[in-house]
Structure 1
Amino acid sequence: MPDSAVRAPQLTRPKVKICGTTSVQDAVLCTQAGADALGFIFAPISKRLVSPDVAREASLSVGLTVARVGVFLGQGLDEVLRLAEASRMSAVQLHGALPAEFVETAAQFYPVLRVVKADELSREGERWAADPRVTLMVDAPNPGGGVPLEWEALRAGWPAGAWLAGGLGPGNVREAVHLLRPSGVDAVSRLEASPGVKNPQAVKAFIDAVQGS
């Protein structure tokens, strides 16, 4: 995948990633609405779990200009790489407590979105600032739970190039972008009709809000 799809200086607007994609139909819907990246969740505990076969079909349906990001939590490195390859992912998103060596090894194969909590931002920002293969994403303590972070509290220590997730939706993403100027934004729960099923109107409104920010 082009590095610009995950790690790039912000020129006009943040990149938009729509996570929790579970069908070809929703992959096409989000892409046509203007998403830059799609997230496919392979963490077994997720109610938005997708099979490698469906993720692969969806990946092939949207083409190479859209980043396809495999989302992982609690899985070994071999499984991460196997699933990413089988489903034609172009990047991986890593959640949870992981040694730096795990992230570094994954980054030899795919661009990495390293998900951190707000209180980890300073430490992890310093750790990965010099590695162009790894991009930080700041998420809420309960990813996918729909609860936003305290954006104002993050302003002073917000690192250049970081992405923002956590409770973002059509009604609040513009404020978050104005406060933090993230390089990318990631949304899932507020864009759904039900877990794993996208609401077309919410997806379009979200992307329009980002593009107008």
Structure 2
Amino acid sequence: MPDPAIRIKVCGTTTVADAVHAAQAGADALGFIFAPVSKRRVSAAVAREAGLNVGPSVARVGVFLDQGLDEVLRTAEAARVSAVQLHGSLPGVYVRRIAGYYPVLRVLRPADLTTEKNVWEGVSGVTLMLDAPEPGGGVPLDWAALAPHFPSGAWLAGGLGPWNVAQAIRALQPAGVDAVSRLEARPGVKDPSAVEAFIAAVRISMNPSYPQ
């Protein structure tokens, strides 16, 4: 059975209204993307305001891609995030430095599992997340093929939506799930009904008596 404590992260949040709605719908965490290359990039000011409006019980995760240490720490502080999600080719010492300030979600791609999985398992302050080679692209991973290699206690992202998240949970039993593109009306703008359906699908997968 999947862990009943599985957490739900709604990523790519760009407005206070979308943040508040996701929190009210039952999201455990919100992702705010600060990577300059992202079409879902948000300012630290908006992320901070969103965090103030959802309250401390919802984790606020700053998402970064191959950005400098000082930039990450400066932006994370300005946005008042409670955790940091790191994408890209990053040296271990960098990730550990960030983990000295914030809990870290270290994102791996399927190809990284054989090289980095054992490096990070059990490292204090670092939790692994498996994502697609193109984060935010909406393409699901091959969960059956990945099952023998999926790290214990890791999160799962990559093409998850209301219609397939229960299947992904059954296949890999992640500690948390993360969705972006499949919850949008258009890039950067959430579809409230999709957000609600995604959260409900996760809850039902853990507890069939959850109201539908």
Deviation at 1:130, TM superposition (A): 2.1
Deviation at 1:74, TM superposition (A): 2.2
What is the root-mean-square deviation of aligned Cα atoms in Å? 0.9
Deviation at 1:181, TM superposition (A): 0.2
CA distance in 2, matches of 1:71, 1:121: 20
Instruction: Answer whether contact 2:12 2:31 (CA < 8 A) is retained.
Output: yes
Instruction: Answer whether contact 2:3 2:173 (CA < 8 A) is retained.
Output: no
* 2:70 corresponds to: 78
- The CA deviation string for residues 121-162 of structure 1, in whole angstroms up to 9 with x for no partner, is 233221111213101100001000000111000111111100
Is 1:49 the counterpart of 2:37? The answer is no
Is 1:187 the counterpart of 2:179? The answer is yes
Instruction: Answer whether contact 2:14 2:40 (CA < 8 A) is retained.
Output: yes
* 1:174 corresponds to: 166
CA distance in 1, matches of 2:114, 2:128: 11
Is 1:32 the counterpart of 2:24? The answer is yes
Equivalences, count? 204
Secondary structure of the 1:92 match is strand
How do 1:38-187 and structure 2 match up within 5 A?
38-187=30-179
Instruction: Answer whether contact 1:118 1:138 (CA < 8 A) is retained.
Output: yes
In the TM superposition, structure 1's runs of 4+ consecutive aligned residues that sit over 6 Å from their partners are none
CA distance in 1, matches of 2:118, 2:68: 25
Instruction: Answer whether contact 2:6 2:177 (CA < 8 A) is retained.
Output: yes
Q: What letter is aligned with 1:14?
A: I
Normalised to the residue count of structure 2, the TM-score between the two structures is: 0.94
Secondary structure of the 2:149 match is coil
- The CA deviation string for residues 34-63 of structure 1, in whole angstroms up to 9 with x for no partner, is 000000000000000001111110011111
Secondary structure of the 1:58 match is helix
Instruction: Answer whether contact 2:14 2:46 (CA < 8 A) is retained.
Output: yes
Instruction: Answer whether contact 1:13 1:211 (CA < 8 A) is retained.
Output: no
Which structure 1 segments of 5+ residues have no match? 1-9
- The CA deviation string for residues 70-120 of structure 1, in whole angstroms up to 9 with x for no partner, is 000121000000000000100000000000000000000000000010121
Instruction: Answer whether contact 1:13 1:210 (CA < 8 A) is retained.
Output: no
Change in Cα spacing, 1:11 to 1:175, as seen in structure 2 (3 Å) is closer
Secondary structure of the 1:46 match is coil
Instruction: Answer whether contact 2:184 2:190 (CA < 8 A) is retained.
Output: yes
Which structure 2 segments of 5+ residues have no match? 206-212
Normalised to the residue count of structure 1, the TM-score between the two structures is: 0.94
CA distance in 1, matches of 2:117, 2:81: 25
CA distance in 2, matches of 1:83, 1:95: 15
Deviation at 1:13, TM superposition (A): 4.5
- The CA deviation string for residues 22-43 of structure 1, in whole angstroms up to 9 with x for no partner, is 0100000000000000000000
Instruction: Answer whether contact 2:136 2:158 (CA < 8 A) is retained.
Output: yes
CA distance in 2, matches of 1:11, 1:139: 20
* 1:204 corresponds to: 196
